[in-house]
Amino acid sequence: AWERPLENGVVGITPFFRANSMWLLPSWQLSYDPVRYQQQYTSFGAQLRYRQDYAPWNTRLITGADLDASPGSYREDRLNVRKTGSIYSGYSVGQQNYNFDTTFLEASPFALIETSPIEKLRLTGGLRYNALGYQYTNNLAAGAFNAGLGNSSQFYRPASTDRYFNKWSPSLGATYDITPSVEGE
């Protein structure tokens, strides 16, 4: 996090980065849905904020935005398992069940005001606009498919699509200090 004091306020940014990758061959599925899969994603973004303090009523205004971009992928392969007696002794890779890429995107500006019109009362009011969505790219044929389990099990691959959502989220609050202090043991 980086912050810089200003006259009666503070400006700051908290950047972030995450990376996760996992190959998994779930042994508990070998008897009924033998697959291996890889999922991975990276996330990067930041919270930007500005705080300004005002003398009347000990008022504070906080504004900023949360930003996030998280591209990821998922690959799943059907396994042809081999058994020797009741022991699984190996496998070969069969058809690819799923292969898709996604990117999650978010931009959410916000504003919050806090004020104390009387000594023991703190009032807050805020507004946040959440704009988020994802871009989904299916790298295989879309639609229903048989996963090759030797039965009529059908699975589904959605077609490539982008979806976006937005919502305003208001907040109001009040805190009243009933006692000057609370002491514990």
Nearest to 31 by CA among 110, 86, 74, 100: 86
Predicted TM-score (pTM) of the model is 0.79
Per DSSP, 85 falls in state: T
What is residue 111's predicted lDDT score, i.e. its pLDDT?
Answer: 98
CB 26 within 8 A of CB 88: no
b/e per residue 27-50 (b: at least 16 CB within 10 A): eeeeeeebbbeeeebeeebbbbbe
CB 104 within 8 A of CB 68: yes
What is residue 26's predicted lDDT score, i.e. its pLDDT?
Answer: 87
Which of the residues in the chain have pLDDT under 70? Answer: 148-153, 180, 182-185
44/119 Cα distance (integer angstroms): 41
176/122 Cα distance (integer angstroms): 6
136/41 Cα distance (integer angstroms): 13
What is residue 64's predicted lDDT score, i.e. its pLDDT?
Answer: 98
What is residue 183's predicted lDDT score, i.e. its pLDDT?
Answer: 67
Residue-wise pLDDT tens digits, 156-183: 999 999 999 999 999 999 999 988 676 6
What is residue 142's predicted lDDT score, i.e. its pLDDT?
Answer: 94
Where in the chain does DSSP place strands (E)?
Answer: 2-6, 9-24, 35-54, 59-84, 87-115, 121-138, 143-146, 154-157, 161-176
